[in-house]
Amino acid sequence: MFEKLDFIEEKYKDLSEKIADPEIIADQAKWQKLIKEHAEVEPIVNKYREYKRVIDGIKESKEILELEDDEEMRELAKMELSELESEKPQIEDDLKLLLIPKDPNDAKNVIVEVRAGAGGDEAGLFAGSLYRMYTMFAEKNRWKVELMSSNATGVGGFKEVVFMIKGKGAYSRLKYESGVHRVQRIPSTESGGRIHTSTVTVAVLPEVDDVEIEVNQNDIRIDVFRSSGNGGQSVNTTDSAVRLTHMPSGIVISCQDEKSQLKNKDKAMKILKARLYDLAQAEQNKEIAQERKAQVGTGDRSERIRTYNYPQGRITDHRISLTLYKLDQALDGELNEVIDALATADQAEKLKMVE
How many other β-carbons are positioned within 10 Å of the β-carbon of residue 333?
17
Give the separation between CA 327 and CA 185, rounded to whole angstroms: 12
Residue 135 and residue 233 share a domain: yes
Alpha-carbon torsion (257, 258, 260, 266), positive or negative:
negative
Assigned domain for 93 exists: yes
Residue 142 and residue 91 share a domain: no
Assigned domain for 355 exists: no
Assigned domain for 80 exists: yes
Give the separation between CA 96 and CA 51, rounded to whole angstroms: 12
Give the separation between CA 223 and CA 230, rounded to whole angstroms: 21
**Domain count along the chain:** 2
Domain end (from 74, 99, 124): 99
pLDDT of residue 265: 81
Residue 184 and residue 60 share a domain: no
Residue 263 and residue 163 share a domain: yes
Helix (H, G, I), strand (E, B) or coil at 273: helix
Could you tell me what percent of the chain has a pLDDT over 70?
86
Residue 194 and residue 52 share a domain: no
pLDDT of residue 192: 67
Residue 244 and residue 164 share a domain: yes
Residue 245 and residue 151 share a domain: yes
> CB of 140 within 8 A of CB of 334?
yes
Q: Is 282 left (phi over 0), alpha (psi -120 to 50) or beta?
A: alpha
Residue 254 and residue 177 share a domain: yes
pLDDT of residue 314: 96
pLDDT in tens, the chain (355 residues): 778 888 889 999 999 999 999 998 998 888 988 998 898 889 999 999 999 999 999 999 998 888 878 888 888 988 999 999 999 989 988 888 888 777 778 888 999 999 999 888 899 999 999 999 999 999 999 999 989 888 888 778 899 899 999 998 899 999 999 999 999 998 876 766 788 899 999 999 888 765 556 677 777 788 777 766 544 444 445 667 888 888 887 788 888 877 777 888 878 878 888 888 777 776 655 554 444 444 434 444 446 899 999 999 999 999 999 999 999 999 999 999 999 999 888 888 877 766 5
Domain end (from 34, 67, 99): 99
Assigned domain for 166 exists: yes
Assigned domain for 353 exists: no
Give the separation between CA 85 and CA 127, rounded to whole angstroms: 54
The residue type found at 242 is V
pLDDT tens per residue across span 2-40: 788 888 899 999 999 999 999 989 988 889 889 988 988
DSSP 312: T
> CB of 150 within 8 A of CB of 159?
no
Assigned domain for 56 exists: yes
pLDDT of residue 285: 58
Domain CATH number, residue 119: 3.30.70.1660
Give the separation between CA 157 and CA 132, rounded to whole angstroms: 11
Quote the domain boundaries for residue 41.
Answer: 2-99
Give the separation between CA 42 and CA 238, rounded to whole angstroms: 56
pLDDT tens per residue across span 174-232: 999 999 999 999 887 676 678 889 999 999 988 876 555 667 777 778 877 776 654 44
Does the reported pTM lie above 0.75?
Answer: no
Residue 115 and residue 90 share a domain: no
Residue 199 and residue 74 share a domain: no
Q: Is 231 exposed, middle or buried (0-12, 13-18, 19+ CB in 10 A)?
A: exposed
Assigned domain for 221 exists: yes
Enumerate helices (H) and strands (E) in the chain, giving the number of each.
10, 11
Write the DSSP assignment of 111-161 as a string of letters: EEEEEE-SSTHHHHHHHHHHHHHHHHHHHHTT-EEEEEEEEE-TTS-EEEE
Domain end (from 62, 77, 99): 99
Q: How many residues does the chain have?
A: 355
Write the DSSP assignment of 282-298 as a string of letters: HHH-HHHHHHHHHHHTT
Assigned domain for 354 exists: no
Residue 260 and residue 135 share a domain: yes
pLDDT of residue 108: 87
Q: E strands, the chain, where?
A: 110-116, 144-152, 158-166, 179-185, 196-206, 220-225, 241-246, 251-255, 306-309, 314-317, 322-324
pLDDT of residue 291: 45
Write the DSSP assignment of 7-32 as a string of letters: HHHHHHHHHHHHHT-HHHHHSHHHHH
pLDDT of residue 355: 54
Residue 153 and residue 70 share a domain: no
- Residue 163's DSSP bridge partners are 112, 147
